[in-house]
Structure 1
Amino acid sequence: MTSGESFTRRLWWPICAIAALILLRGCAYSLVRGDRVNSQEAAHIEAGIQALRQLRFKQPVPLVVKTPDEAESMMEADMMRDYTDNQLEADSVAGALTGLYPAGLDLKAASLKLLKSQVAGFYDLHGKEMVLVEGGADVGVWNSAAQFMIQRDVVGEMLLAHELTHALQDQNFDLESSLDKVKDNDDRALALKSVAEGDATIAGFAYAVGRMDDSTADSLTNSLKQLPQALAAEAPHTPEGLSVPLLFQYSEGVRFVAEAYRRGGWTAVDALYRNPPQSSHQILHPELYFDGNAPAPRIELAGYDGIMSGWKKADDDTYGELLIRVILERNLGKQSSEVGLAARWIADRMIILEQSRGVNVIWMLAFSDAHTASHFAVVYQTLLDRLLGDSTPHRIDVRSNAVLVVIGEGADYFDSLAPAIWNASAIETGGVAARFEPSASSLLQ
């Protein structure tokens, strides 16, 4: 697994080929015994994954073994590399206000608990080393994987092949730099990480089964349908706002990368790093990426500063189709017809403000048409009424295909705040910014 940022973007440590582990578990010997690596077997896998993935290492990748506690410390240190505890707390509150997380969730603790329970190894983007975790094959979904190929340590081979593929990605496509460039946009970061995890999961699986072709990709894609149930069994109380984006990188990432492979082999997969998908929307609807040429819209959200001058920006974010779907499913039920509104998403931007009195969320979303925007606004207003009641002010406004949501104290002076935001904000497509017309407003009380 690789890395990420806000909490969905910070939950980027790999579950280490979790997808393929649904299928495979070896037991004849172990790639890792105690704190030692079988160096001869590791060298064999390193050579094999280069041949299969058709990429070469530019420098050696050190292999180190860590205890679970040491691995957790590394995960925590990386999580806190760019963000403070205060920012994590603000993200947690904002997620609860919008309906993404349950109230009172400790994001840092919940995420580390999930990752520690599942992680068996990872490629450290910053340290440029491959980390294997002692006892990794006996935790989480590793322990529930089916017995297969008992004369080989298939789990260890697949894990190492998976993570070495991340090292190949980093050395050949500068993955660390690419992730840094999208760290202020969760949804774009999730899309790039889905490419990286899909690529590594397919490569690791193909190495384990001894071939790579369309049927191998199809077999893996079909097997991933078991992934949510497997994680739910291993970590039953994980909030959907954490588990869904994590699993998405593997399940939908594999499906997306497999489509690229079908269209042009590993050369087409390599091209994904030079021109990465821009959103979870494109990952979920691959035809928009592979067959469409339209640039992805972006929202410029501004105009709140003067009216909320006493508030400090704690974070900014983009939820994207995936997390909007999670919000609707969590609060309306997975079978609700309204969940389909998320698929009409085209852009969103969220600003999280804070001061001593609490957290305020300013969130603008754009949909494919004005009718969908109006429908979403009504549905989401009802959702927030039920979720927040009278305890937290919240207001929604609609202009054309865009929806403005304010949750927190700012909703108390929404009549002046909303026009200021609309007047200063825009939807930018291909470098052209479209401002919002004042006459096209439909205020929801």
Structure 2
Amino acid sequence: MSRQLAVLAVFLVVLAGCAAPVTPPTAADPDWEWPDDPPSDRLGWENGYWYNESLDVDQSDGLDADEREALVARTMARVERIRGLEFERPVPVDVVSREQYRQSRQGRSTQGDRNAEYRAWNDQVWEALLLVGEDREASDVLEELYGGSVAGFYSSSRERIVVVSDSETPQIDRATLAHELVHALQDQQFGLGNDARTQDGQLARSGIVEGDARYVEYLYEQRCERGTFDCVPTPESGTSGGASGLSVPGVFVTVYTPYSEGPALVDRLYRRGGWDAVDAVYENSPASTEQLIHPETYPDEAPVDVSVPDRSAGNWSRFDLNPQADTVGEASLYAMLWQNGYVDRASFRQDESDYSAYNYTHPASAGWGGDRVVPYESGQNEYGYVWALEWDTERDARQFVSAYESILVDELGGERVAPRVYRVPEDRPFGDAFRVTHRGSRVTIVNAPSVAELAAVHRRN
């Protein structure tokens, strides 16, 4: 999973200077003219355009080279004006069709990490979350998600933005352009490295990067809607823009966490200490998606380091990979509950924050303290895993166990075959045996192809 989500550090998807402000023209002063270009670069001016100059741009028949250059330059100036940081160098912007984008992703996936050992390990992480069953590969599900939902991305390795247009003629969504330009600005000012080695850690780090970009995007759109900015109309989009229509919608819910929950954390920081406080968080990124979902926990409530002793026997062993384990975190737990019907679908869209797109809180996941998923293999093309979770309280642990066992029985068609042991029929996507134990604030889930093999994957303590 780590290498799958690490793509966000290289391709950041929709998912400093100081100068006196320039007073914009008003309706009462129709002959007002913008000042000449400044003698040197300054905040709110880029490549010949001030942040609030009017543009003669018509996207109905697509953008020619001059129109694109003007639109990009003015948007850069506006991003500077809002964010209070100066671009250090130009940012090239390409526009491609969705079909071209899908083909480029397919080309990269065939050249990328297709190691069978890693794919099997990664599949167990997503299977542990009861999101991607044995009938699918996690990499294929992620490819479906990115291929159909991405509106644009910034490549830090190429220092270039690519906007994906659903129109037959090249058009640029102004919010997407502003969002991706923030990523370019972040890269120039802070760097965009994401060295977190777990699913939860990568999503958390992306939370500040995407949260900052989404927050600026919101402020940009507010200025357009209020008439503070004279804005080029946004073209109609043909993308679904959400989990609907995806074969595994819970994967979208997981991956979208930084975009939904990151802006609320940025807003909290900004209200406390302005952009300086937001800048500072790049040196002290959120440690978990818990800190995105519950911004009041940042930075003091760090996740618990959960260890899982190896108690395997026979042919069963851990994968020969580094790392051998993953941490999935609160957001992924919520996605598991949501996809499997334990969370009311309507509540997902009922977030009280002005800057959160969705609601990622639920009693059965909110008490998360830490977790570790360790995939196992038998050497005979059979796989299993041990998933240990630490909760804030024993009551939180009981709530999760109740939810998890309910999903096994009610959603997956499982049957309780022994105390704390369940069997999901083999013809189901999650057709395996499960042992669920609960001691104090710790929950341990063991998965194996059969009930008899549960002890070989992880013997009882």
TM-score by length of 1: 0.71
Task: Compute the displacement of 1:362 (Å).
Answer: 1.3
Instruction: Determine the C-alpha separation between the residues in 2 that align with 1:192 and 1:346.
Output: 18
Change (3 A) 1:192 1:411: farther
- Structure 1 segment 124-139 matched on structure 2, within 5 A: 124-133=155-164, 135-136=165-166
- 1:16-36 CA-partner distances (Å, limit 9, x unpaired): 37xxxxxxxx99437963788
DSSP-derived class of the 2:88 partner: coil
Identical-residue share of aligned pairs (%): 24
Q: Is 1:192 aligned to 2:209, yes or no? A: no
* Correspondence for 2:448 among 408, 422, 443: 408
Change (3 A) 1:138 1:275: farther
Change (3 A) 1:259 1:410: farther
Letter in 2 for 1:265: G
Instruction: Determine the C-alpha separation between the residues in 1 that align with 2:265 and 2:225.
Output: 16
- Structure 1 segment 39-438 matched on structure 2, within 5 A: 39-76=69-106, 83-84=113-114, 86=116, 87-92=118-123, 94-96=125-127, 98-133=129-164, 135-136=165-166, 156-175=173-192, 177=193, 179=194, 181-182=195-196, 184-210=197-223, 231-232=242-243, 235-289=244-298, 293-304=300-311, 310=317, 312-313=319-320, 316-335=325-344, 340-354=363-377, 355-384=379-408, 386-387=413-414, 388-389=423-424, 391=426, 392-409=432-449, 412=452, 414-415=454-455, 418=458
DSSP-derived class of the 1:340 partner: coil
Change (3 A) 1:409 1:29: closer
DSSP-derived class of the 1:29 partner: coil
DSSP-derived class of the 1:300 partner: coil
Task: Compute the displacement of 1:40 (Å).
Answer: 2.4
Q: Report if aligned partners of 2:329, 2:370 keep a CA contact under 8 Å in 1.
A: yes
Q: Report if aligned partners of 2:57, 2:67 keep a CA contact under 8 Å in 1.
A: no
Judge which range, 164-173 or 306-315, deviates more: 306-315
- Structure 1 segment 12-31 matched on structure 2, within 5 A: 16=14, 28-29=58-59
Q: Report if aligned partners of 1:360, 1:410 keep a CA contact under 8 Å in 2.
A: no
Q: Which residue does 1:433 correspond to in 2?
A: none
Instruction: Determine the C-alpha separation between the residues in 1 that align with 2:128 and 2:314.
Output: 21
Task: Compute the displacement of 1:192 (Å).
Answer: 1.5
DSSP-derived class of the 1:299 partner: coil
Task: Compute the displacement of 1:185 (Å).
Answer: 0.8
DSSP-derived class of the 1:64 partner: strand
Q: Tell me, which stretches of 5 or more residues in structure 1 are unaligned? A: 18-25, 140-152, 217-227, 423-445
Q: Report if aligned partners of 1:280, 1:322 keep a CA contact under 8 Å in 2.
A: yes
DSSP-derived class of the 1:207 partner: helix
Instruction: Determine the C-alpha separation between the residues in 2 that align with 1:119 and 1:417.
Output: 39
Instruction: Determine the C-alpha separation between the residues in 1 that align with 2:362 and 2:175.
Output: 36
Q: Tell me, which stretches of 5 or more residues in structure 2 are unaligned? A: 16-55, 229-238, 348-360, 415-422, 427-431
Judge which range, 30-39 or 250-259, deviates more: 30-39
Change (3 A) 1:378 1:242: closer
Task: Compute the displacement of 1:273 (Å).
Answer: 1.1
Instruction: Determine the C-alpha separation between the residues in 1 that align with 2:173 and 2:240.
Output: 23
Instruction: Determine the C-alpha separation between the residues in 1 that align with 2:396 and 2:450.
Output: 25
DSSP-derived class of the 2:154 partner: strand
Q: Report if aligned partners of 2:153, 2:162 keep a CA contact under 8 Å in 1.
A: yes
Change (3 A) 1:40 1:101: same
Task: Compute the displacement of 1:283 (Å).
Answer: 0.8
Q: Report if aligned partners of 2:83, 2:275 keep a CA contact under 8 Å in 1.
A: yes
Instruction: Determine the C-alpha separation between the residues in 2 that align with 1:127 and 1:305.
Output: 45
DSSP-derived class of the 2:131 partner: coil
Instruction: Determine the C-alpha separation between the residues in 1 that align with 2:145 and 2:440.
Output: 41
DSSP-derived class of the 2:208 partner: helix
DSSP-derived class of the 2:90 partner: coil
Q: Report if aligned partners of 2:433, 2:454 keep a CA contact under 8 Å in 1.
A: no
Q: More helix per residue: 1 or 2? A: 1
DSSP-derived class of the 2:271 partner: helix
DSSP-derived class of the 1:364 partner: strand
Instruction: Determine the C-alpha separation between the residues in 2 that align with 1:283 and 1:256.
Output: 6
Q: Report if aligned partners of 2:97, 2:168 keep a CA contact under 8 Å in 1.
A: no
Aligned pair count?
375
Instruction: Determine the C-alpha separation between the residues in 1 that align with 2:456 and 2:203.
Output: 35
Instruction: Determine the C-alpha separation between the residues in 2 that align with 1:308 and 1:298.
Output: 28
DSSP-derived class of the 1:334 partner: coil
Task: Compute the displacement of 1:346 (Å).
Answer: 0.6
Q: Is 1:33 aligned to 2:33, yes or no? A: no
Q: Report if aligned partners of 1:195, 1:249 keep a CA contact under 8 Å in 2.
A: yes
Q: Report if aligned partners of 1:347, 1:367 keep a CA contact under 8 Å in 2.
A: yes
Judge which range, 359-368 or 327-336, deviates more: 327-336
Q: Which protein, 1 or 2, shows the higher relative CO under an 8 Å CA cutoff with sep ≥ 6?
A: 1
Letter in 2 for 1:261: Y
Q: Report if aligned partners of 2:316, 2:376 keep a CA contact under 8 Å in 1.
A: no
